[in-house]
Chains A and B, each alone.
Chain A
Amino acid sequence: MTRKIVSGLLGVVIALAVGALIMFFQGYEPFATYAALAQFSLGGMAPLTTTLKNAVPLVLTGLSAAIAFASGPVNLGQPGQLVFGALAATLGGLYINLPPALEIPLLMVFAILGGALWSGLAGLLRQAFDMSEFIVTLMLNMIADFFTAWAIAYPFMDHKAFSPMTPPIAQSGWIPDLGPLNSSVLVLIAAVAIMWFVFQRWRAGYEWRITGQNSLFARLGGCDVRSNFMAVMLVTGALAGLAGGLVVMGGPHRFIKGLGANYAWDGIMIAIMANNGLIETLIYGLFVAAIQTGALGMELITNVPSEIAQVLQAVLVLVIVATREYAALIFDRLAARRQASVRKERAA
């Protein structure tokens, strides 16, 4: 545990130092930039709640990737599953109008089903034809992108708008603000808690984890590896779909062009930084959300383009992973040396 924290912190510090070097060589002041970044993401109630809200899609897609990677399936389809979830929630919100207490959960279910449908398709192709889900999910991402672009440009387009987007969803489907905080954050917390419980405490989660570590062992031990594979694909697709639904219901309240942005790819990066741990995914997700939120404000006062956030994120993931693997090596070496010296003392 302490190892994890030490190597994680070390990784973050080194990555931020590399980021500072990049900024320095471009003639910016790294410390002022980082200060602005922190100020606009964590300094005060409004920045903090914005960061939390922005963390919702990042952490949810991160959870999706983390659970998939830790259980075996290489599901890289979060981007496609996210836009499908968003589309499903939008369509539900366009045609169904119930009281908020029913409408909001219903649209979330739509989003979950939309995401699970798209990941289930990849899972099915794997089950039926042995097609590697790695490439299949990547191809389905592109197809989902074009499909949703078509859906919002033709059949469901808002004809009053100048760029492709759907009309707004029924107001009863908007996720309300609790004071300054958007309550989609509560959904996120619930989702993290449920997934942690399922993954760490339930038999199903145990089987998934064991399959991810050694699928032969799991099969010989009596796990139904095939149905577990499908279950993981569906659950992870559902999480990504929910992320998409919440983006629509909490934000623009309609499907606008480019809605998926980079949320899902960022989520995959977050899962990698977190080494597929669920709680770690939450922590790194909040961290990345802070960087992205702060970057917009930072641009206003320091002239550093907000796109630096994307560069910083890529540096973060590389350095954190490299540091973790390198630190593990050094820790092991230290432990070995300690053991050797103990043995020597005993001999003497």
Chain B
Amino acid sequence: MNILIGLITGMISGATPILLAALGGTLTFYAGIFNIAMEGMMLMAAFFAVLGSFALHSWVLGLLFAVGGAMILALIFIFFSVVLDTDEFVTGIALNLFALGSTTYLLRQIFKVKGVFTSKAIVSVPNIRIPLIDKIPFLGPIVSGRNLIVYLAVLATILCWYLVFRTRFGLRLRAAGYNANSLDSSGVRTSRMRIEALLLCAVFCGLAGAYLSLGYVTLFAENMTAGRGWISLAAIILVDGHPYGIALISLLFGFFDGLGLFLQSYGVSSQFTSMVPYIATLGALYVYARRNRERERNRL
């Protein structure tokens, strides 16, 4: 029983950063931007979350810093890809490397360390205990006592769905991706929709990064996102951007993430258990590709 609860809570914490980053990415996906900068945005956010929380002793400010950090990257993205019309793929790759380089640089510059920074002074984002619910056997310890950002991620999923499919903003957003010319000719500027999508993406990725450095663990390590931004990109592609689909896929990845940790306690070496989420992504891509192929065959 306890093992099962452990697996499920592990799944939830593994899924949260991927879910948040993918939700941000899906907004830009609908707006027709080939955005691969989620990895960098998360990394910047993770760094600035630690910086804010450490310097100002408040996790609220840590969260704000995190969103600000991701926002810096979003603004550079906007400047190059929307204003100067630079290739989005190139901009994304360069920004990811910029995030890696500048966080490593700032880690050295501000905290005077290489590799990892941790301190007692960093205030982490609290876990929330829900009264009454935490008394329910089995369900209680799963639903209650999770990190605040986990609950935010659940809200964000619903909000994201509502925003994209039930509001005027969402309609315009999808129009920007579906047919930019017709949106422009109807008097809404596509570039503006794209800018808004990128800024919103930064907010989501900011939360994702903050979860990594103030929730999951309380430290910042060089390149601590470890490919999660890429996995979130895969999640978006696999379900064509639908927020609920993304939530499902993220939980699946979270499960394999947790499974890896679980296997480790059975003596499988950590290098192999760490591979599990990436192998799972390959497996998911295989299923997706096969489904696509069948769909095409049926069409003929």
Residues of B within 8 A of A (CB): 76, 80, 84-87, 90-91, 93-95, 97-98, 100-102, 104-105, 108-109, 226-227, 230, 233-234, 237, 269, 271-272, 274-275, 278-279, 281-282, 285-286, 289-290, 292-293
Contacts and interface: CB of A to CB of B under 8 A. Distances in A.
A319 to B, nearest CB: 9
B100 to A, nearest CB: 7
A283 interface: no
A157 to B, nearest CB: 12
B230 A139 contact: yes
A314 B97 contact: yes
Contacts of B102: 310-311, 314
Given A139-B278, A142-B275, A325 B86 contact: yes
Contacts of B230: 135, 138-139
Contact of A305 (B86, B105, B272, B292): B105
A123 to B, nearest CB: 14
A325 B84 contact: yes
Contact of B269 (A136, A140, A154): A154
Interface of A: 26, 125, 129-132, 135-136, 138-143, 146-147, 149-150, 153-154, 262, 265, 268-269, 272, 305, 307-311, 313-315, 317-318, 321-322, 325-326
B269 A150 contact: yes
Given A139-B234, A317-B97, 4 more contacts: A131-B282, A132-B285, A268-B93, A314-B97
Nearest to A69: B89
B281 A135 contact: yes
A143 B94 contact: no
A131 B285 contact: yes
Contacts of B269: 150, 153-154
A36 to B, nearest CB: 17
A264 to B, nearest CB: 11
Contacts of A321: 86-87, 90-91, 94
B98 A147 contact: no
Given A138-B230, A318-B94, A146 B272 contact: yes
Nearest to A153: B271
Given A305-B105, A321-B86, A269 B275 contact: no
A311 B278 CA distance: 28
A326 B87 CA distance: 11
A139 B281 contact: yes
B76 A318 contact: yes
10 contacts: A130-B290, A131-B289, A135-B281, A142-B227, A143-B279, A269-B93, A307-B105, A307-B109, A317-B94, A325-B87
Nearest to B238: A135
A129 B289 contact: yes
Nearest to A150: B271
Contacts of A309: 101
Q: What is the interface of chain B mostly: helix, strand, loop, or mixed?
A: helix
B271 A146 contact: yes
A135 B93 contact: no
B86 A318 contact: yes
B237 to A, nearest CB: 7
A215 B91 CA distance: 24
B108 A305 contact: yes
Contact of A135 (B84, B91, B279, B285): B285
A318 B105 CA distance: 18
Contact of B90 (A262, A272, A326): A272
Contact of B234 (A26, A125, A135, A268): A135
B229 to A, nearest CB: 10
Nearest to A317: B94
Q: What 10 A-B pairs come out closest when comparing CB atoms?
A: A310-B101, A314-B98, A150-B271, A307-B105, A130-B289, A317-B94, A146-B271, A139-B278, A142-B278, A305-B108
B97 to A, nearest CB: 5
A45 B102 CA distance: 31
B97 A310 contact: yes
Nearest to A135: B234
A305 B109 contact: yes
Contact of A147 (B97, B275, B292): B275
A325 B85 contact: yes
Contact of B84 (A143, A305, A314, A326): A326
Nearest to B293: A130
Given A131-B285, A150-B271, A318-B98, A307 B86 contact: no
A129 B286 contact: yes
A269 B94 contact: yes
Contacts of B90: 272, 317, 321
A15 B185 CA distance: 37
Nearest to A318: B94
Contacts of B91: 318, 321
A136 B282 CA distance: 7
Contacts of A269: 93-94, 97
Given A135-B237, A138-B230, A314-B98, A129 B86 contact: no
A308 B93 CA distance: 18
